Amino acid sequence: MKPDHPILFIPGPTEVRPEILAQLARPQIGHRSEAMKEIVRSVRKRLKLVFETQGPTLFETCPATMLMEAAVRNLVCRRVLHLTCGAFSERWRDISIACGKEADSLSVEWGRANLPEDLERALKSGRYDAVAITHNETSTGLMNPLAELARAVRRFDDVLVLVDVVTSLAGSSVAFDQSGLDFAFASTQKGLALPAGFTVYAISPRALERARTTPGRGWLLDFGRAFDSLEKQETLATPSIPHLFALDRQLEAIETEGLKSRIVRHAQMAARTRSWARERDLTLFADERHFSPTVTNVNAGNLDVGRLTSALKNEGFQISNGYGKLKGKCFRIGHMGDHTPAVLEDLLSALDRVLHSSRA
């Protein structure tokens, strides 16, 4: 049966369950009320599960790109090294430069992973006090080896590990504490399967200490100020209260499913998507040793990606064109959030119909 709207299999925003949408329609509460304090307390506690941390977790009403900027303003004092491997890791570097920070790139070809041995060599220069890593590069469909990269950084005591986990959180293990991360952030419209416009993050004690003394860090996104306020179950400014209602319910659902089970489900959907592509003689863009569990990037070959995505939308599903310099050369399937293997099969069947029609 054709869905009543195009089901989103793009790399975010992803589909939001009706139960979660209903939370967004709840009556408002005062943002300084006791009810609000209870929501703040609950969300912060439950976020520890998905970040896999015992340390502070926080949130803010903004897109994840703003957290890229906030990380730079709060946590970079001397110079930051950006590991770039695609469009979004390059964006973070550009943000550092726009903020007036000294920033370098340790770059690899799009589709390749950043490697810990290269990172360790670069850090021996002693020039950097922070490293910015993109865990899951959405533009290429690649996941960097985060634990190994973080381990290389932690050999240098004064260097902080800053990580974009926008499309890996709640779809893959972040292991904040075990990996020794200092700052990790994600938006809610990806693996958390909520509407866009809200961001969550985790921070280490040593990063929080640095943030308190870094000049020019601003006010609203001053991590130390935000932490002190949230420790009292209060926000610095009025947050998106509907997002908090929805996030609390979604985190409860993730607890019920189990983070490990959720990660396995994502891995299964990714493997099925890759096997589907190979069975149709389509090649995958990213290095096979580092495939993403939340988004698959398929080389289009002779296919017209615009026609493909348009025809698929008529079938009731939406996937994404390639991003940046890959537009028209690839198409991306985002299998993240609350998608299930059964609904993924519906998408792949629709893709088969579209491909058959285009080749007939």
Give the closest residue to 241 by CA, choosing from 85, 5, 3, 43. 43
Q: Do you find a cis peptide bond into 13, omega within 30 degrees of 0?
A: yes
Q: What is the reported pLDDT for 170? A: 98
CATH annotation of 7-15+258-359? 3.90.1150.10
What's this model's pTM, rounded to 2 decimal places?
0.97
Angle between helices 259-279 and 241-257 (to 10 degrees): 80
Q: Please provide residue 207's backbone torsions phi and psi, each rounded to the nearest 5 degrees.
A: -70, -40
Q: What is the reported pLDDT for 357? A: 82
Instruction: For residue 356, count other CB atoms closer than 10 A to its CB.
Output: 9
Q: What is the reported pLDDT for 359? A: 65
CA 308 – CA 289 distance, rounded (Å): 28
- Residues 6 or more apart whose Cβ sits within 8 Å of residue 230: 40, 44, 56, 58
Tokens of 306: 């615009």
- Residues 6 or more apart whose Cβ sits within 8 Å of residue 324: 86, 87, 139
| Mean pLDDT by groups of 10 residues along the chain of 360 residues | 85 97 97 97 98 98 98 97 98 98 98 98 98 98 98 97 98 98 98 98 98 96 97 97 98 98 98 98 97 98 96 97 97 98 98 83
Angle between helices 146-153 and 116-123 (to 10 degrees): 20
Instruction: For residue 249, count other CB atoms closer than 10 A to its CB.
Output: 18
In the chain, the amino acid numbered 154 is R
Q: What is the reported pLDDT for 356? A: 84
Q: What is the reported pLDDT for 2? A: 65
Q: What is the reported pLDDT for 213? A: 96
Strand, helix or coil for residue 280: coil
> Domain 19-256 falls in which CATH fold?
Aspartate Aminotransferase; domain 2 (3.40.640)
Q: What is the reported pLDDT for 33? A: 97
Q: What is the reported pLDDT for 4? A: 82
Tokens of 102: 């000294």
109-119 pLDDT per residue, tens: 999 999 999 99
CA 328 – CA 97 distance, rounded (Å): 29
Give the closest residue to 26 by CA, choosing from 15, 37, 35. 35
Tokens of 157: 């005591």
Residue 282 CA from chain centroid, whole number: 26
Domain layout of the chain by residue ranges: 7-15+258-359, 19-256
